[in-house]
Amino acid sequence: MNFTEITVTELATKLADRDRQYQFVDVREQRELELAALPKFIHLPLSEHAEWSLEIHTKLDKDAETFVLCHHGIRSAQMCQWLIAQGFTQVSNVIGGIDAYSDLVDRSLPKY
């Protein structure tokens, strides 16, 4: 594992930080986003990897601090590994995903 991991409370701090520019990537499916989503996230569904993977360097800055989210943290970990392999330098997986975020940060966020 070449990437770091952050908690959902650390993610909430990053989302609220107006002074720094971060990249936030959500790899869940569109139907999952319709149930629960966070602002500032770029949607790159892991299942559609073939459609967007060749353009990853135009969609994201490889040197920017990047946080990857999914439902529980498994798919986002896969994405983190792949981003590192593509030359991304500051990649973090969100432990527990949006499920933990709805438990620990924002209980108004629907669980599914």
Average pLDDT of the chain, as a whole number? 96
pLDDT in tens, 63-92: 999 999 999 999 999 999 999 999 999 999
Catalytic residues, which ones?
A: 70
Indicate the pTM of the whole model: 0.96
Average pLDDT over residues 54-70: 97
∠ CA 76-78-64 to the nearest 5 degrees?
65
Residue showing tokens 């990047």: 66
Q: Residues in the chain, how many? A: 112
At the second CATH level, the architecture of 4-104 is 3-Layer(aba) Sandwich (3.40)
| Domain limits, the chain | 4-104
pLDDT at 96 over 70: yes
Looking at this protein, which amino acid is placed at residue 35?
A: L
